[in-house]
Amino acid sequence: MNIFVLMKRTFDTEEKISISGGKINEDGAEFIINPYDEYAIEEAIQVRDAQGGEVTVITVGSEEAEKQLRTALAMGADKAVLINTEDDLEYSDQFTTAKILAEYLKDKDADLIIGGNVAIDGGSGQVGPRVAELLNIPYVTTITNLEINGSTVTVVRDVEGDSEVIETSLPLLVTAQQGLNEPRYPSLPGIMKAKKKPLDELELDDLDLEEDDVEAKTKTIEIYLPAQKQAGKVLEGELADQVKELVSLLHNEAKVV
Amino acid sequence: MARKVLVLGEVRDGQLRNVSYEAVGAAKTIAEGGEVVGVLLGASVSSLAEELIQYGADRVVVVEDEKLAQYTSDGYAQGLIAVIESEQPEGLVFGHTSLGKDLSPRVAGKLSSGLISDVTYIEVEGGNIVFTRPIYSGKAFEKKIVTDGLIFATVRPNNIAPLEKDESRTGDVSTLSVDIKDLRTIIKEVVRKATEGVDLSEAKVVIAGGRGVKSEEGFEPLKELAQVLGGAVGASRGACDAEYCDYSLQIGQTGKVVTPDLYIACGISGAIQHLAGMSNSKVIVAINKDPEANIFNVADYGIVGDLFEVVPMLTEEFKKLKVNA
Ligand SMILES: Cc1cc2nc3c(=O)[nH]c(=O)nc-3n(C[C@H](O)[C@H](O)[C@H](O)COP(=O)(O)OP(=O)(O)OC[C@H]3O[C@@H](n4cnc5c(N)ncnc54)[C@H](O)[C@@H]3O)c2cc1C
C-alpha cells in the first residue's frame, strides 16, 4: 500500500499570539506538527503495519518544517518530502498549497492519502478535499474510523457529532478527526532511525511549476488581535442575591435574554 | 459593482438551517445590488424555495434527484457545478457547517478558484469585499480579499445577521435537471448522537458543563437551564473524556466552535483549547468554585460558587423572568 500523509507545521496550541509588522510574531514560538496531522501520521503507520507498504509524509513550507518531518519519521513514517517554497512564493493560499501537493502526487500512484481535517493556525480545512478533487479521487473528511478490506474501504465520518458509516474504495483521500486514534510519541530508537531515513527537498522547479501556476487567489490585507476584553465582573454578596443580579444584568445590561 | 451571487440552502430534517438565511444576508452584501440566487439540492426540496426568497433571495434554482436525498460530496458537487455552469455567478456562499466544509473546497478545486472559509464578518471597503475570519483558534483575526476570480466564502453560523423575513416577497423558482452519475462514496448508515432539540453550533444560548459536573446525572440541572432559555447543552473535553456526556457535545479546538449570544460555563476551568471554541461568544458567564480559574479571565460575569447550587437557582430566576415578560 502506497500511503501519503499531508502534514503542516503549526504554532503550539499553548502559544500566545502577538503581532509585529502586520504579521503574527513567530520569534521564540514553539512549533509542532498540526495536532490533526498527528492523527493522520498515526493512522498511516497503522495501516502500513497491517497491510504492508510505505508511508511518505509531505509538507509544503520552509526549511524549518524539517524538524516536524523528522518527528514524523521518528514516529515511524518511512520517507519525508519537503516542498520548499520559501524562495519562490511571497503569498500563498489554499489554492497554492493544494495545487503544489496535487502536482507532486499526480504520478505517485497513491492508494491512500491522509491529512488532518483542519490546521489549527489558518483553520480553513480546504487542502485535503482540494487535493482529492485535483487528483480526481474520492475523499471523506473528519473521519473517526478507517477499515480497509482489499479495495473496499469503510470509514466512519463525524458529522457535527452524528456518525456516518461510509463505504468507498481506493484510491482515497481522508482527513482525520479527533478520536481516530491515539498518536504515539516517537521512541528513542525511532528518533535514532529517523536521522537516517530519506528526507527529500524539492522546489517548484522540480515539479515543473511556475510561480504563476500557483499564484494565490486570495490575499490577507490585515491581521489583528481581538479587542482586549474588559475585566469581567465577579459578583459578590449572598448567593441568592448574586443569582438575581446576574439574571438582571443579562436581561437589562447585556440584553441577551 | 453589482454581482450575481449563488447561495446554497442547506436542508436538515426537512428544514432550512438558520445559517442558510445568514448566508443569504452575506450574499446580499457581496452582490452589491446584484442578484442573489438560492440553490436547493435534494430529493424533494422545492417547497423550501419560498422561504429562501422571503429571507432575501431573488429567485431559486432547484435540483431534485433521489441520489441527492443524503449529502455526498460527489452528488452535491455534480448538482452544484451544473447550476454554476448555467448561472455563471460571480459570487458563491455556503454555511461553514459540516456540509459546507466538506463541499466548498472541492467546488473551489474544480473551479480553480479561491475560497475564504469560516467568515464572521463581511464589509465593502474601498471597492473590495473584505472578509473577516478568526485564525489561530480565535486568538487573532485576519481580513481577506479575493484577488482573482470567483468570490467564494463560507460563513460561520450565528455571526452574520440574516435579513428580516418578508412574507410578501416573491420570486421565480426554476428547476434544473441534472443527471447525477455514480457516487463514489455510499452512506450505509447514519448513527444519530447529536442532541435532539436546539442545534449546538447554531444555538443562541449554550450551557456548557465541565469536569466539575462530576457525573452524567450532573448534567441534568444544566439541561433544565438550557430548556428554560431555549438553548443547547455543550461540554468541555474534560467532561467528555470522563464519559459524563457524548463527544458530540465537545466545544473547543478539537470540538465544535460556537458563538452564541450567551455562553454559561459551569465547572469548566477555561483551558486554552476550550477557549478556542467559545471565546468569541457575545456574553460569557462563568460559574466555578475556584476563584482563580482561568475561565474568569474571559468571562463578562462570574459567580464563584458550587454549580449544583447556582445552576438550579438560575433556572428558577429565569423562569420568573419569563413569566413576568
Ligand atoms: C491538543 C489538545 C486539544 C484539546 N481540545 C480540547 C477541546 O476541544 N475542548 C476542551 O474543552 N478541551 C480540550 N483540550 C483539553 C483541555 O486542555 C482541558 O484539559 C479541558 O478543557 C479541561 O476540561 P474541564 O475544564 O472540564 O476540566 P478541569 O480543568 O478539570 O476543570 C474543572 C473545573 O471545575 C471546577 N469545579 C469542580 N467542581 C465544581 C463545582 N461543584 N461547582 C463549580 N465548579 C466546580 C473546578 O474548579 C475546575 O475549574 C485539549 C487538549 C489538548 C492537548
Boundaries of every domain in chain B: 4-175, 200-324
pLDDT of residue B150: 97
For residue A229, pLDDT over 80 is answered with no
The whole-angstrom separation of Cα B98 and Cα B61 is 22
What 3-state class would DSSP assign to B286?
Answer: strand
For residue B325, pLDDT over 80 is answered with no
User: Which B residues 30-59 touch A at CB under 8 Å?
Assistant: none
> From the annotation, which residues of B make up the binding site for FAD?
211, 236-237, 250-254, 267-274, 288
| Architecture of the CATH domain A2-214 | 3-Layer(aba) Sandwich (3.40)
Terminal CA-CA length for chain A: 56
Interface size between A and B, measured as CB pairs under 8 A? 253
Chain B positions touching A165 (Cβ under 8 A) are 187-191
| Architecture of the CATH domain B200-324 | 3-Layer(aba) Sandwich (3.40)
B4-175 against B200-324: fold identical: yes
Report the DSSP pairing between strands A199-202 and B15-16.
unpaired
Task: Select from B283, B316, B319 the residue whose CB has the most chain A CBs within 10 Å, as the one to mutate to test that interface.
Answer: B283
Q: Which pTM value belongs to this model?
A: 0.93
pLDDT of residue A231: 80
| Length reported for chain A | 257
Do the beta carbons of residue A53 and residue A1 sit within 8 Å? yes
pLDDT of residue B196: 67
Nearest to A234 among B73, B200, B304 (CB): B304
Expressed in angstroms and rounded, the spacing between residue B235 Cα and the centre of ligand 1 is 9
Q: Provide the pLDDT confidence category of residue B312 given band limits of 50, 70 and 90.
A: very high
Instruction: Report the pLDDT averaged over residues A8-33.
Output: 92
pLDDT of residue A170: 97
Nearest to B313 among A120, A224, A240 (CB): A240
For residue B195, pLDDT over 70 is answered with no
State ipTM. 0.95
Query: pLDDT tens, A40-59?
Result: 999 999 999 999 999 999 99
Nearest to B147 among A159, A218, A251 (CB): A218
Chain A positions touching B117 (Cβ under 8 A) are 123-126
The whole-angstrom separation of Cα B161 and Cα A224 is 23
Do the beta carbons of residue A143 and residue A175 sit within 8 Å? yes
**Is the shortest distance between the CB of B304 and ligand 1 below 6 Å?**
no
**Is the shortest distance between the CB of B38 and ligand 1 below 6 Å?**
no
For residue B194, pLDDT over 70 is answered with no
Beta-carbon separation of B272 and A13 below 8 A: yes
| Architecture of the CATH domain B4-175 | 3-Layer(aba) Sandwich (3.40)
Pocket test of ligand 1: the residue of B137, B200, B237 to mutate, having most ligand atoms within 8 Å of its CB, is B237
Q: What DSSP string describes chain A?
A: -EEEEE--EEE-TT----EETTEE--TT--EEE-HHHHHHHHHHHHHHHHH--EEEEEEEE-GGGHHHHHHHHHHT-SEEEEEE-TTT-S---HHHHHHHHHHHHTTS--SEEEEES--TTT----HHHHHHHHHT--EEEEEEEEEEETTEEEEEEEETTEEEEEEEESSEEEEE-TTS--PPPPPHHHHHHHTTS-EEEE-GGGGT--GGGG--SEEEEEEEPPPPPPPPEE--S-HHHHHHHHHHIIIIIS---
Domain with CATH 3.40.50.620 in chain A: 2-214
